[in-house]
Structure 1
Amino acid sequence: MLSLLTRTKSFRDPWVGHPILNRQFQLHRRRVELAETLCTWRRWLKPGRCAELERDGFVVIQNFLPPSQFAALRDEVESRVSDVAHQHPMPVNNRVGFQPKQPFPAGFDRFDGGTLNRFLHIDPSVLPQAAAVCHDPRLSSCSRQVIGLPMDHHKVDVYLTVHGEESETPDLQKDLHRDTFFRALKFWLFLRPVERDDGPFEYVPGSHRLDPVRLRWEQSTADAALLHRRQPDVSGSFRIQDEALASLGLPKPVAVTCPANTLVLADVFGFHRRGAAVPGRQRLALYGWNRPYPFLPITW
């Protein structure tokens, strides 16, 4: 029962996915509402100051760093990525679905179908420029805007995405989805330009807002997950079809193509996905996330 008061979102959990509590008492809807209420309270105590993020659920900031600082960061990270690739060649995967982490000394690899996600830890003695960016106060300001809590600099990595071939091992992150039942933050500071063929981040503007229509969708999707009929559980990260967006009063997704030195930051309670890409194309970024304990009533 204690799992109901945690971040647990998978309907395979016996309490989160309890059929009676969900069907008779709309348990999922109540968890969503409580988490939103407490998040609103935290945000009120220490609000952020980004109107675009508040309105759309995501923000795109070009020229995030001064040119000289960005050049030093990019060169440092590119050198590290190259060194690690020689020490630990990138693997391939032929299994469908999300795969477990494959740790190595500098970080870990994880596959989403055929797409490789390579995460490299940021050691200040090895990546001092990257470590400095982790403490940028603008990240904490945006984090407070989304979840009412500052950014945790420990939750930032170098992130290399290598797109795979989709016919045999589809990438489930390329399905439109929201991450969890409460507000959470992700950001990418792109170190290389992102073109359409690179699989850009896509976001549905305004889909982060919790209104009565979205609440009904949340509960009906939870009901379907319990029955394993209309959609798979996907560990509680609910999927939605593009054609269903209009029924929620939402527009089509926006693909964020951008030059290098662009920060893309999003509330991932909103619907988003990794865009379609040409196999073998890559994205390189500093990547951060902040998924809070949803039932925390205070901030700092």
Structure 2
Amino acid sequence: MTQRSVQWWRYPGYAFGVLSNDKSFRKNPLIGHPYLNELGLHRERVRLAAGIARNRRKFLGRSLDQAEREQFERDGFVIRENALASDVFGRIREFLKNEPLPAREMRQGQTVTRMIPIGPQALQRLPDLAEFSDNRSIADLVRYVGGCGGDPIYYIQTVIAEPARKEADPQTALHADTFHSTSKAWLFLDDVGPDDGPFVFVPGSHKLTRERIEWEYRQSLIASNDARAHHADGSFRITPEELSKLGDYSPRKVTVPANTLVVADTYAFHSRAVSFRPTVRVELHAYHRGNPFNPLPLSGMSMIPGIKDRRLDIFLAMSDRKAKRDGRVPTWRDVGECTAYSEPHI
């Protein structure tokens, strides 16, 4: 079978991707097709996804405090202090400082990100973790901010900055994760100050303004050939100069005390702050992204019994097999057991 015929057989999958959360202009030739985007393909995907998310939030926000809904509508993120009971928070923090768990690490320039899944093994060793991963109030907020039903994925995240390495971390550039609303949550285990490599967010940039949709349209015409890999893969980067042309926006460092939950719509522009000294930031993390074109405020995946706490382990196992088949190192490398506060291994 010729390479050309193989590529043509893939087009039904590429077409299905247009109706899903696929975002790569480089990997999907329909999503990245200059002529289709000149006709408005990307622009209309953005508009349709935003409208569907807005409708789903009408249902998903019913259980939330009005003040938090208003904060999200204004800023695109919500800050909730004293998110866990102090005794529970203290036990979780003490355990993660001292007890090793199976971990993965990924390096991006000067930054190492460690992931410890909150799955059956971690929950068995520390049942208090369920106060985060099974917390109805936290899950409802994550769903609302992301405008998406279903269950988030939970893990313990450590971000380690090593500025002496000099290589740039691509996550320190302002960017949107994808073309539609998604949500991430961070429950910080330590105080986060302005020099601790904090989360940077552009308040209000989650709103689909006329200027934003026009900027999205312009990017869609050239993204497939952009030299920035993340940009070409649909996580659009934006410079401060470009941002200033979209409206009166000012990036803000999100500095908070320990035991604070931050939930953000990562369609808004955000980044990690550049660290000029070695820093370690540990948090309980939730990630939530679904099909932006599903009109219902629920997810079929949530209906499969016994899978909720195992989805991340399943994803990592599948990623390992794919990397082995392709003869490359997995993006998330298995580094054995370590504590959340351990030195990096890669």
5 Å-filtered alignment, 1:108-123, equals: 108-122=104-118, 123=122
Cα distance, 1:67 vs structure 2: 1.5
Q: Say if 2:242 is the partner of 1:244.
A: yes
* Cα pair 1:139 1:151 within 8 Å, conserved: no
User: What is the identity, as a one-letter code, of the residue corresponding to 1:184?
Assistant: T
- Number of the residue aligned with 2:21: 7
In the aligned structure 2, how far is the partner of 1:254 from the partner of 1:195?
12
- With 66-75 and 166-175 compared, the bigger mean Cα shift is at 166-175
* Cα pair 1:224 1:231 within 8 Å, conserved: no
In the aligned structure 2, how far is the partner of 1:59 from the partner of 1:11?
31
SS of residue matched to 2:261: strand
Cα distance, 1:227 vs structure 2: 4.3
State the Cα deviation string for residues 128-153 of structure 1 (Å, max 9, x = none). 11122111122222123223334625
- Number of the residue aligned with 1:93: none
Q: Say if 2:37 is the partner of 1:18.
A: no
Q: TM-score, normalised by structure 2?
A: 0.75
Distance 1:281 1:216, change over 3 A: same
- With 9-18 and 177-186 compared, the bigger mean Cα shift is at 9-18
- With 190-199 and 136-145 compared, the bigger mean Cα shift is at 136-145
1:54 aligns with one of 56, 63, 73? 73
Cα distance, 1:273 vs structure 2: 0.4
Cα distance, 1:217 vs structure 2: 0.8
In the aligned structure 1, how far is the partner of 2:178 from the partner of 2:40?
17
* Cα pair 1:47 1:148 within 8 Å, conserved: no
- Number of the residue aligned with 1:136: 135
In the aligned structure 1, how far is the partner of 2:19 from the partner of 2:289?
15
In the aligned structure 1, how far is the partner of 2:34 from the partner of 2:182?
26
- Number of the residue aligned with 1:276: 274
Distance 1:56 1:138, change over 3 A: same
In the aligned structure 2, how far is the partner of 1:282 from the partner of 1:270?
25
- Number of the residue aligned with 1:203: 201
Distance 1:147 1:256, change over 3 A: closer
**Higher helix residue share:** 2
State the Cα deviation string for residues 231-286 of structure 1 (Å, max 9, x = none). 97352100111222221113211101111111111000000000111342100000
In the aligned structure 2, how far is the partner of 1:127 from the partner of 1:64?
18
Identity rate, percent: 36
In the aligned structure 2, how far is the partner of 1:268 from the partner of 1:185?
6
In the aligned structure 1, how far is the partner of 2:229 from the partner of 2:124?
46
Q: When the two structures are aligned, how many residues end up with a matched partner?
A: 275
5 Å-filtered alignment, 1:1-300, equals: 1-12=15-26, 13-23=28-38, 25-48=39-62, 49=64, 50=68, 51-80=70-99, 83-84=100-101, 106-122=102-118, 123-150=122-149, 152=151, 155-165=153-163, 168-228=166-226, 233-300=231-298
Distance 1:174 1:166, change over 3 A: farther
Structure 1 runs not aligned, ≥5 long: 85-105
Structure 2 runs not aligned, ≥5 long: 1-14, 299-346
State the Cα deviation string for residues 2-44 of structure 1 (Å, max 9, x = none). 2111211111121110121112x11110111111121122112
Q: Which has the larger radius of gyration?
A: 2
In the aligned structure 2, how far is the partner of 1:33 from the partner of 1:128?
42
SS of residue matched to 1:193: coil
Q: TM-score, normalised by structure 1?
A: 0.86
SS of residue matched to 2:241: helix
SS of residue matched to 1:111: strand
Cα distance, 1:162 vs structure 2: 0.5
